Every structure is written in C-alpha cells, then in structure tokens.
Amino acid sequence: MNKTFLFKPYQYPHPAALEQWLEQKASEGWYPDRLTHIHSMGMRLEKREPMQYKYIVDLQARCTAEYRRIYADLGWEYVGRMSSMHIWRQAYDDVPPASFTDMDSLNSRNRRFYIAISIVFWVMMLLVAVLAGVFLLERFGVLAIQDDPVDIWVDRIMPIVILGTVGTFIGLSARRVRHRK
Amino acid sequence: MKQKIGLTTPMSETMIYILLSLQEEMHGYGVMHRVKKMTQGRIVLGAGTIYQTLGKLEKNGLIQCIREEDRRKIYRSTPLGKEMLEAEKTRIHQLYQNLEAYL
C-alpha cells in the first residue's frame, strides 16, 4: 500500500518541520524510499511496520563521496535527494541521533535552506512579473499582439517552458555525470 | 590572522577539537571517535557537523587532505592550523586565569 503527498518539500518553511513530518509519518508506518528530483512534486510513501526514525534534511549543492561516506559511517541511511536537498534517516530506540551537533553547523544548514528557497521564490516572482508585464503592455496597447490567446500560449509561452525544462534536465544530468568522475 | 583567513573569532569548541584531533592523520569517522574519547563522551559530533567543519577548515587552509582510502579522505593539520591552535591556547589560558582570579 502507498500514498502520494503533493509538493511536501514546498509546504515547510523550515527543514526541521519537514524532518518532523517525516518522523511522524514513520511513527505511523509510512516511509519514503529512493527519493529523486521528481518526488519534490509528489512524494510516495510506502506502508510498513511503524518505527522510530530520526530524519535529516540537509542541503548540499555537491553530493561528494566523502559526504555520503561520513553519513554512512555514522549509521545514516541515504533516502535520496530532491535537487540539492538530501534526506537521511536512522532508526533509534531511546535517544534520537543528531547530525548537526553545534549551533554553527545547524545555522549554516538553515541558512543554505533559506538561500535555496529564496532563489526559487525570486525566480517565480520574476516569471510572474514578466508575464504580468507582457499582459499589461498588451492591455494598454504598448505591445500589439494580434494573435489569438491560444496561439500566444502555443507559439510563445510553451517553447519557453519546454526549453526551460529541457535545459534544466540537461544541466542536472551534466552535473551528475561531472560529479561521478 | 583569523580575520585574514576568514574564520570567526574565537574558534568554536567543535572546530578546536577537530583541529586538535588532526594533529595526527585521520578521517572524519576517526575524528568523531577521537573527540568523543578526549571529552569523555561529552561531545559526540554528528555527521553534518563533521562534514561542514572539515570543509571549512580545509577551505581556510588549516587542514589538508593528504590521501584517500576506501572513499574516505584522510586529513592532517597544516602549519597554519597548528599556529591557530597555539593562538587559541593562549586565549583560553588567559580566560581560565581570569575565571580563577575573579570568580
């Protein structure tokens, strides 16, 4: 049995809140397995025996062999990554294990998270501003678009969306290949 | 000197203990055990803290990776790292003396 939760990583403004949600789901017997980039839009959880798990949400632009080795050496299981967001977990009985054990590293993790969220937010705002600008210029006759609204979407907006999606995919793939070397 | 190499002053306890451990060649997991032993279990470093602190120390030239074994980087302190530890020792010694004198 499984359940899919839509846009979960975007619903929490703080990484600790996403960790708590995952831990609560584990206590109810729901677990994410093999997270990949696409799961930021729909996170599928599988039903198993409920257990106590500590989850860690970490942000690292580069997932180096050293990074994964240090976490693995200290008993963490790699659940997967969604963009630069890496998810780790570890089962425990009494005391939950910690990954960020001093304020410097915890604040640094949180700062990286806010920067990533801010970039996504401002890119979205820029996109909205461009679309609103085009609409207003056309509305007040500064920009004369004679085409049918459907044609505008097909001829102008969709190519930008498709090129953007393909470019992002190629960029992510190229980065993954480079980091494997 | 600390301002010049981009570290905040004073160095954090975590950073001092990791740098102190790396007076010998060691990987991240070894550092965790060494610090736990030195502090008699008071400080147990987490994976995220070790990875970030090693990265910061390496970026600032206080430690260097000397080789890799089984996908683990082996680090050791540089002369600059030892110099920084000496400076911290002086600072903490003065702090201790003042606590003894005025508390």
B45 close contact with A: CB closer than 8 A: yes
Nearest-neighbour CA in chain A from B30: distance (Å)? 10
Three-class secondary structure assignment of chain B:
CCCCCCCCCCCCHHHHHHHHHCCCCECHHHHHHHHHHHCCCCCCCCHHHHHHHHHHHHHCCCEEEEEEECCEEEEEECHHHHHHHHHHHHHHHHHHHHHHHHC
Instruction: Please name the residue of chain B whose CA is at the shortest distance from the CA of residue A86.
Output: B48
| pLDDT tens readout for residues B65-103 | 999 998 899 999 999 999 999 999 999 999 999 999 999
> Rounded to whole angstroms, how far apart are CA atoms B45 and B27?
13
A94 close contact with B: CB closer than 8 A: no
> Rounded to whole angstroms, how far apart are CA atoms B4 and B84?
12
How many CB contacts within 8 angstroms connect chain A with chain B?
67
Interface contact A66-B72, CB threshold 8 A:
yes
**Paired sense of beta strands B63-69 and A85-91, if any:** unpaired
Task: Please give the pLDDT value at position A41.
Answer: 77
A99: helix, strand or coil: coil
Beta-carbon-side half-sphere exposure of residue B13 (alpha carbons within 13 Å): 11
Which structure tokens are listed for B24?
Answer: 């010998």
Instruction: Please name the residue of chain A whose CA is at the shortest distance from the CA of residue B73.
Output: A66
Task: Please give the pLDDT value at position A123.
Answer: 86
B19 close contact with A: CB closer than 8 A: no
Closest to A70 (Cβ–Cβ): which among B12, B28, B44? B28
Instruction: Please name the residue of chain B whose CA is at the shortest distance from the CA of residue A77.
Output: B47
> Rounded to whole angstroms, how far apart are CA atoms A108 and B76?
24
Residue-by-residue pLDDT tens, chain A, 181 positions:
888 888 777 778 789 999 999 999 999 999 998 888 777 778 889 999 999 999 999 998 888 999 999 999 999 999 998 888 899 999 999 999 999 999 999 999 999 888 887 887 888 888 888 888 878 887 777 766 666 666 767 776 777 777 777 777 777 666 655 555 4
